Amino acid sequence: MTPAERQLMKRKPAPEFMRRQVKLRTAEAPGTIIVDSRRKYLYFVEPGGTATRYGVGVGKEGFGWSGRMSVGRKAEWPGWTPPAAMVVRERAKGRILPAYMAGGPGNPLGARAMYLYRGGRDSMFRIHGTNQPWTIGHEMSSGCIRMMNEDVEHLYGRVPSGTKVIVVGPRETASGLYADLGPVRRGLLETIFGN
């Protein structure tokens, strides 16, 4: 890895995409995941009108999507098999993808992956980590939802298989589904000493 590549790996997303607890108005039950592709946020709905909001990277132009799915399975440091269409697409650009890449820090799926299923079948879309944190807040993927590795680890521990996932597409509005009412304000003592 070159020094320039090492510097790039240290770049973090813009401050508005850092993880925070927010007030959220939604009819969705606690434990639901809502992804707003337009705003580049993933919300994990919590009790009491709150949610943890994470910044995400989403599908680039032509790869955005919407729909309701569920987490069909989960993996820590998952291996990656590029889809056949991606192999062909990248080969046309002069890039040769491996047939399979074992899990680890250099793997494009990062530290954790939650595999999204529809009707009991793998959709080929994932919520996963990334070794490219600077892509959070951008349209950069082939349709998967990217999170910083520390964020995907945080979410992974809270999400069981079967969790409902709602993805709002990049050309859709989420009005009626949820309203982000801003960060939860903490009292001075809680800020200093924690809960």
CA 114/CA 51 separation, integer angstroms: 19
Token representation of residue 170: 């990049």
Q: Is 87 helix (H, G, I), strand (E, B) or coil?
A: helix
* Catalytic site residue from 42, 71, 109, 144: 144
Burial of 50 (0-12, 13-18, 19+ CB in 10 A): middle
Please tell me the distance from the alpha carbon of residue 16 to that of residue 142, in angstroms, as a whole number: 23
* 144 classed as catalytic: yes
128 noted as active-site residue: yes
In angstroms, the CA 189 to CA 126 distance is 39
Determine which one of 39, 128, 138, 146 is catalytic: 128
Q: How far is CA 1 from CA 5, 8, 46, 97, 130, in A?
A: 6, 11, 40, 18, 17
Three-state DSSP class for residue 4: helix
Residue of 128, 158, 131 lying closest to 56 (CA atoms): 128
SS3 category, 22: strand
Catalytic site positions: 128, 144
